[in-house]
Every structure is written in C-alpha cells, then in structure tokens.
Amino acid sequence: MSILAAWSGTRIILRQVSPESIPIFDFILELYRSCDGNWNQISGGDGIVEEDVEEFLKYAATFLSNIGNYYGSGDQKFVPQISSSSIEKLAARSLKLWDLYLEFRDSIMTVPPFTLGYPSPVAQSSYYPGEFIEKEEIALVSRHMGAHSILPENTRVRKTGEDTFEVLQASTMISEVPLPLDIPDSTARVSLVRGDHADDLEKICQNLSRAATYAANDAQRKFIAQYIESFRTGSLDAYRDSQRTWITDKAPKIENIFGFVEPYRDPAGIRAEFEGLVAIANAEETKLLSKLVENSDKFIQRLPWATPENNGKGAFEKSLFDPPDFSSIHTLAYCSSIIFPGINLPNYNDIRQDVGFKNVIVANRMTAESTAMQWPFIEDSEMELFQKHKYPAYYWWVVLHELLGHGTGRMMIEEPANKFNFDPANPPISPLDGKPIKTWYKPGQTWTGEFGDLATTLDECRAELVGAYLMDDPELLALFGFTDQSEIRADDLTYNLYQQLGVDGLRALSNYNVEGSKWGQAHSRAHFSILRCLLRHGHGCIEIHHDIGAKKLRVQVDRSRIKSHGKKALGDMLLRLHMYRCTADVQTCREYYEDLSHVDEECLEWRQTVVENKPPPLLNVQANTFIDGETVTLKEYDATIAGVIQSWCERSV
C-alpha cells in the first residue's frame, strides 16, 4: 500500500513542473490505451509514419522518466522531435486524445521557456502560477508567511492582482474562506488558501492508512500517522514531527520517505517538490556502511576546520557525532523528478543538529548509472580503466557525501532571550583569518532563509567536497577494502575520483542555460565550481584540453599533484564554504561562489562541445506491485522505451 501511496504523488509533481504536464501525461497514457500497448497499430494509419511514432515514444519515455517536460537534472525543457502536425495526427485517433491535445498544443513545442526558474520571458515556474510575479513580491509574501509562522515547503504562490497574492497550501482540507495573512508594515493583501493537490493527497492518505496496518513497529505507525496529519491539515509542524519520529526507526527492512522534501526546483530555494520512496534494505551492503559510521569521529577530525578543542573536531563541529542510521537500499518505488543516488534527511537543519538524521544509499540507482553511456571526456587509452574504477570511486564518494558531508557542521546561532549556542563574549576563532567570528544566525534566521537561492547548491557543493577531500585517505580507503595490494588499488581509486571531478565539472555545463545565464541544477553548479577551483588553484593537478575543430574535450589528471596540490585546493574551498555556512556570512559567500560558478567565454565554448557530445538521457524503468487478496505480485518491465511507458500505464495514477 505504501508503494501505491508513493505513485499517487505523480500528479502533484506534474502540477509543480508546468501547466501542460498533466494533460501531456494523460495523453501518453490514453495513446497507450488506444492501441492496447501495441504501437505497431498506430503506424501507417491516418498518414502517421513509423519514424514519427518512434520519436514520440522517445519523448514519452523521457517525459515519464522525468515526471514532466523539463529534465529532472538540469530543469531544461525538452520537446518532441517531430512536427506539430504529426502530433495532431496522433491526437486525431480519438475524441479524448483530441481534447487532451487541445490543452497542451500551444505549449508542448514552445521554446522559450527554456528552463525552470523565476518567471520571465525565458523561464517559468509552476510554484508561482497566475499573473507574472517578481522576485521582490515572492520575498514580500515570505515576510507575510513568516509573521504568521507558515512554513513554505508545501506551498505555491499565486499572484491574483497588482498587490494581491494567494498562498496555496497542500492539504486535503479545502478552505471555505481564505485566511488573511496581514502584517502591519505592508499594504499587500496575502491570504492562505488550503486544498492544493487535495485529491492526490487524499489518495496518498488512504493508501498510507492501509499501509500502517502492516507497519513493523510503533515508530513506523507513528510517523505514518504524522505524515497523514500533515497531508490532511497542511501543517508542517506535524511533518517536522514525522521526521523526528522517522529518525528513530533504525535499520528498517522497508524504508519509507514521503513529503514535500527537496527544494531544488523552486527558484527561491524554499518550496519543495513532493516525493514518495519505498525501498528494501540490503543487510550485507549495510554492514559495510556501518563500519564507516563507527569510525566517523576519526575522519571528522581530519576535515579542514578541525582544531584541538572539542575532542579534535574544532568549534565549528558538533561535540557529539550521533551515529546515524545508514542503509543501502534497493527501491521498489521512487516517485520523483530525479532519482538521487544517496539521500540524507531531514532537510531541517535544526532537527539534524539537535535530534539527528538518517542516510540511505540507493544502490540499484547507482548500478543503473554505472552501466549508462559515458561522457567522452577521458582519453581513449584510459577509458577502460576509468570505467573499471568509476563505480567503486563514485559509490564511496556518495557515501562520504551523505554521511560526513551533510552530516557535519555546527551553526552559530543566537536564539531569543539573548541565548547563544556559543559564548558571545568570547566568540570562536575562525580558521579562515584567525580572528573571532563577527556573524552568526540571529533569532528567527535559518540557513535556507538567509542563503536563499544559493542554499541548496552550496549544501551539495560542500558535501561533494567533503567526500572528495577524504578520498585519498589511506586508512579510510583501507576501511573500504582498497589498499596497495587490492584488486582495485587505493591510489587508482583516488586518481579515478579526480578524473570524475573533471568529467562532472564539464558535463555540468549542459545544465547551464545560456539564454537566462542560469544554472539549472544545484549539483551541476557545484560540480562546475569544484572544477574551476581545481583549475585555478590545483597547480596543474587537473587540466582541460579542448579541440574546438574536432569537438573534443579531454580531462587530464596529474597523479603526482593530487595529494600535494589537488587536495589543498579542495580543502581551501571546503573550509570557506563550511565557515560561511556556519557563521551565516551570506555576502562573502555569495561573492566567492558566484565568481567560481561564473561561466566565461572559454567555458561557453566548452559548453558547446559538451552539448554536442551529450549521451542519450538516462531513462528509468521501475517495477510495479499488484495486490490480489493477500497475494502481492511484483512485475518487472523490459529496460526499453516501450517498457518505461507500459510500467507507467499500469500504475493507474
């Protein structure tokens, strides 16, 4: 039942992506039903040629894999590679298809918008439906919401007039009368309207209620009940309680993650996309992760901000690293626009800092990516060895990213009533300049609230840097089974990781939107920034060779400079981001990070070559479960375009 609950969130995600996503989704499913999944029936009739059917099916599989018509990774719009008249011929097969087509015919092929982002001539965002809204107006609405203690993650904002706005809150409860959110120093009229995504949330709640009868323990029953309370009432306080309870459910055989979780696609960085995940834990893989968890303190003491105090971890680290639950899982259902290789939750820093967090590694997702077509940025003579080492290097990089990247750090916080989590009369010394810190989080301020649109990419960049910084540590690599005598040698693994830093930095450029001068994905901006750091400060550790005429880019890594120069460059960048984050030094951080992630003329030339060498998008095909009485059947599908479409059509969402 929890799997049904996960897939029941599909239409919420579609609604959050674009106005045309739901009718396109329904059109794909209805087209499948019109031929009973036998696509050969469509070709030849009514002037429809086989090539057009094939191209539309490619589009359909890509759409379904991303749950919308913008790439989950990169947020760029993609369109069918056929003419509008060819889509019209497909739509003419039935009255229902034609009615759906009329809902999206003016938008499915239209570019711009090129990307998701603040509403503009080149970007759009369904987190802000209605009249065109300015950044300043979004910030104004946030002030109204903050004054009334309404958190933003499960909301959208609709501008209804020159100075009037509606905050649409996700809940099954529907407002009979909007609730005014007035504040004294504003003439704007802002009101809260409950009931966004009501029908879909009702299905989710019903399926979660059924799933609760099969829960393994009281903690699972409790957080499911808290999920339901939040989805019914719209209360994010109830959702935050669910996260506190979820953390206590240690080493579950079945893992569940539901809610408005990741804020990557909101241009303001505060509103979150819905996701539903149900997975089975792998006990053997999890045992190996437990070894790292048990030794976490040792490796935290080797991070750049570590100083002798606080048991060798320094003032900007928690005194006690409470070992989190860390599992390797294989997903049964992962309903999200992007399937992440690793997850660290909850996304509320106060809960993470005061209560704890959980980590999961999505093993079957990582396996799928390791077999996908590679970006051609490594010399042909090295490609075989690169491919051999890529999966283990990537796997442990992600592990370190989640555990010690997202799991470390201590914010300097001032609370109401003149309370501090540090001594304000004797502030801690910043390792950046050797002087007492001058900035910190004031009462009511939060990491995401202060850093805004930078928060998610900075968080991911810092976590990536932690993993990369530690990936040459002999003791750490030996813990994973990599030594000078192992089949995959420790030095080769480190070398491969630096190759991946170069490759990921280049491929990130495909997610940079030239027309809007905007990064389309938090991780991509982070990867590019890390590459720029190594190019500027790595003293030849990494070099990029570009043959414009041949449209070739190559990453070259100097093994001899990894530990002497590459690690130092990564460590300096990591220390800066960590300190800016811990001390709420927003302005200095923005200047530093925006400079590193700036795409200059040379990088725009790299981008052109990157785009021309882009491999096909990774398509995701997931299984379905069917219940007949007490019998549950798992149905898997062919890893083909037809298999992707069939799997979605049989979900009945």
Q: Give me the DSSP letters along 61-72.
A: HHHHHHTSSB-T
- Of 166, 402, 460, 464, which is the active-site residue? 402
pLDDT at 371: 75
Question: Cβ distance 566 to 534 under 8 Å?
Answer: yes
In this predicted structure, the answer to whether residue 322 has a pLDDT above a threshold of 80 is no
Kindly tell me if the per-residue pLDDT of 458 is higher than 90.
Answer: yes
Q: What percent of the chain has pLDDT over 70?
A: 100
100 pLDDT exceeds 80? yes
Q: Backbone phi, then psi, for 491, in 5-degree steps? A: -65, -35
402 is catalytic: yes
**pLDDT over 90 (residue 632):** no
d(CA 495, CA 491) in angstroms, rounded, equals 6
* Per-residue model confidence (pLDDT) at position 400: 95
pLDDT (mean) for 27-36: 97
> For position 366, what pLDDT does the model report?
85
37-84 pLDDT, tens digit per residue, is: 999 999 877 789 999 999 999 999 999 999 999 999 889 999 999 999
The yes-or-no verdict on residue 372 having pLDDT over 90 is: no
Of 648, 367, 512, 460, residue with least CA distance to 71? 512
Predicted pLDDT at 617: 84
Query: For residue 370, what are its two tokens?
Result: 């390791």
- Report strand pairing: 164-170 vs 624-628: unpaired
Name the DSSP letter for residue 614. Answer: P
pLDDT confidence of 283, banded at 50, 70, 90? Answer: confident
Give the HSE-up count for residue 267: Cα atoms under 13 Å, Cβ half-sphere. Answer: 23
Is the pLDDT confidence value at 446 over 90? no
CA separation, residue 479 to residues 292, 471, 482 (Å): 7, 12, 7
- Size of the chain, expressed as the number of residues it contains: 653
Cβ neighbourhood burial of 273 (10 Å; 0-12, 13-18, 19+): buried
Q: Is 416 exposed, middle or buried (0-12, 13-18, 19+ CB in 10 A)?
A: exposed
pLDDT above 90: percentage of residues in the chain: 85
Q: Mean pLDDT lowest for which of 221-225, 264-268, 385-389, 628-632?
A: 628-632
The model carries a pTM of 0.88
Gap between the Cα atoms of 408 and 399, Å rounded: 13
Residue-wise DSSP of 562-611: IIIIIHHHHHHHHHHHHHHHHHT-HHHHHHHHHHHT---HHHHHHHHHHH
**88 band by pLDDT with thresholds 50, 70 and 90:** very high
Confidence of residue 353 (pLDDT cuts 50, 70, 90): confident
190 or 517, higher pLDDT? 190
Section 99-125 average pLDDT: 95
pLDDT score for 452? 87
